[in-house]
Chains A and B, each alone.
Chain A
């Protein structure tokens, strides 16, 4: 029996819809995570990276302890 025979009889008609739902769930998870409150300072700092480049950086980035 060939792989294509197995696939043809595997009943995969709902396969694409399942993928759609999985991707939608992943998308919702990302949206929730991005807009969750409490990351303003971090977001603001990161958004300024292109503008900070002309100034010398005098600390280890990320090492904020």
Chain B
């Protein structure tokens, strides 16, 4: 008997909305990227607090990750899910809430990050009210997505849907746990975790943000759009399933490879490395699966810009996922960490994999969404070649910069001393590569403008009203009957591998989701529990005391200005690091650091032992105009720190939040502003006595100087001073 068919239509309006958002935000994010690349090449382009490198860099990363790639994922997921599940989205209303909520979050980021509101955690900079908004909007998306699955008319969930499910649930877990913090004001908070634990949580999040925001969602898109564009099924569906489970099982462990040779316990670092190396296999399996999907269709690649974009995207995925495990090997990491090499690695993934896959996907969808022909295939071809050339130029320049930097930092001369003891020498050597990067980035951006033009012109030729095709499909049967298996299994092993249980999961999204969450959570707990609970992982140091109220204020200014984007605070136990910066960093030194500020890159030198290296006045002059102290310095000037007054009344609130986190503040619990003023007067008097500017006692620069002068000094304190506490500066 023939079943009755349901008639329905797809909601393509939401896909069009996310598509436009992808293009517009992509343009903005890449424009900011070009600006900060220009600022490194021409520091005079740092203009005022809102347009300084330290504040704009997180705006660039957030815009390209969450605005460009995020909207691209949503556009592709809304398009493909409806078609793969043969149903309209669960709720048009929730789709709109998701869209507008997400755009509002992006606008909030664009306003707050240049204003200096940041949690100082990479890719998790946004402050607590925005974090709550992200969680709410994400839940809306999840309800809409899982509701759609529940209403589906296709029994089996195609592998792309698996990747979307893993992305949705894992991003929620990562976001919530990494952003746990104690608010200290409407747009100010302190991380719940401190030092080593905070670093661990951040890179558990940071690495998996790359995995579950930039990789798994885009793999889902690849497994849907590549077969569509090539008009042939994926090369090996088995391999795609293997790809999925191995990525989910392995990725979640790999975060600690971002912290090799830091104060993180050795075992966690090694575990991160081992799992990262294991990721090689599934990643390359996935890449090969993608490329082989085009077997017999290579002629099409020559003619079709969509396939060209996909081929480069999949190749870039292969390159980035080859390089990632390689960089996680400790000895390689020792050379590359903190250098531009990592920036090149990230851009191979972002420009090549995320960018090209998005371009290919939108060029493929545009004629279908706007129900017309693409305005110009030729322009799309030109976009492809410009973007490819721009990306190659960018990567070549910055890989060279990274390698140069890494080798120069560790070079010793024949007398056994550092060959390049002045950090600025190593920076100057990179300038030609920074200029070249600007050219590469500009080419990529020009391609993006062509992309926008092409899509706008396509949209202009749309029909007066969009046709809404009626789709017919049979509803799911009430009872599922297992298809007959050709070879009935014999024995326990065969029964297991026949795995009716797994096939049931594939039909039962809830069970499948629970299993995915379980894989992610169990792996996370295996790493997190020991890091948090085994005391020997973070041996305490008796002489380490909390920051004074003024130092805490200085630290907040350091965070506001984004100093951690260019300066690390983590000296690794290598001779070339201890010779340059001083005693290597110990885990116990960071127990009051909410959040940790180890950084991930050294555009400038490490500051872990900055305290006491220079007089107070040196810091004032340096912050006011760095190039007057260090010739050809590329650091932005911060003259406003000498003009703007410290907000003394709020210091108490900040100290109170720290106390809530368990920081023993002693006297400062009741009289933080008073203690801060007292210390500020002492420092200002010293600056004045040394011939510096007068009247700085209430200016922000004094707080920052107090903080910088404290850095790394606790382990040098004489025993008598060790117990002095935050009031005893």
Contact = CB atoms under 8 A, between A and B. Distances in A.
Contacts of A12: 530, 534
A19 B526 CA distance: 7
A49 B474 contact: no
Q: Determine which residue in A7, A8, A32, A49 has the highest number of CB atoms from chain B within 10 A of its CB, and name it.
A: A49
B476 A50 contact: no
Nearest to B226: A50
B678 interface: no
Contact of B497 (A3, A33, A41, A48): A33
B249 A51 contact: no
B682 to A, nearest CB: 38
Interface string A21-48: 0010011011111111111011110111
Contact of B474 (A36, A39, A60): A60
Given A23-B523, A46-B158, A51-B233, A61 B535 contact: no
A4 B197 CA distance: 14
Nearest to A59: B474
A16 B530 contact: yes
A31 B154 contact: no
Given A15-B530, A30-B242, A47 B237 contact: yes
Contact of B238 (A7, A41, A43, A49): A43
Interface in B472-486: 472-477, 479-481, 483, 485-486
Contacts, number: 148
A20 interface: yes
Contact of B84 (A7, A32, A35, A50): A50
B246 to A, nearest CB: 6
B456 interface: no
Q: Determine which residue in B153, B479, B485, B534 has the highest number of CB atoms from chain A within 10 A of its CB, and name it.
A: B534
Given A36-B497, A58-B2, A60-B3, A49 B156 contact: yes
Nearest to A10: B534
Q: How large, as a class, is the contact surface on chain B?
A: 35 or more
A20 B472 contact: no
B417 to A, nearest CB: 40
A44 B236 CA distance: 9
Given A46-B237, A49-B154, A53-B86, A30 B498 contact: no
Contacts of B477: 60-63
Nearest to B525: A19
Interface of A: 3-5, 7-8, 12-13, 15-16, 19-20, 23, 26-27, 29-39, 41-44, 46-51, 53, 56-65
In the A-B complex, the 3 residue pairs with the smallest Cβ-Cβ separation, listed nearest first, are A62-B155, A63-B477, A60-B477
24 contacts: A8-B536, A12-B530, A15-B526, A16-B267, A16-B527, A23-B523, A27-B249, A33-B496, A34-B238, A34-B241, A39-B238, A46-B156, A49-B154, A51-B232, A53-B83, A53-B84, A53-B86, A56-B473, A57-B5, A57-B86, A58-B3, A58-B5, A60-B3, A62-B155
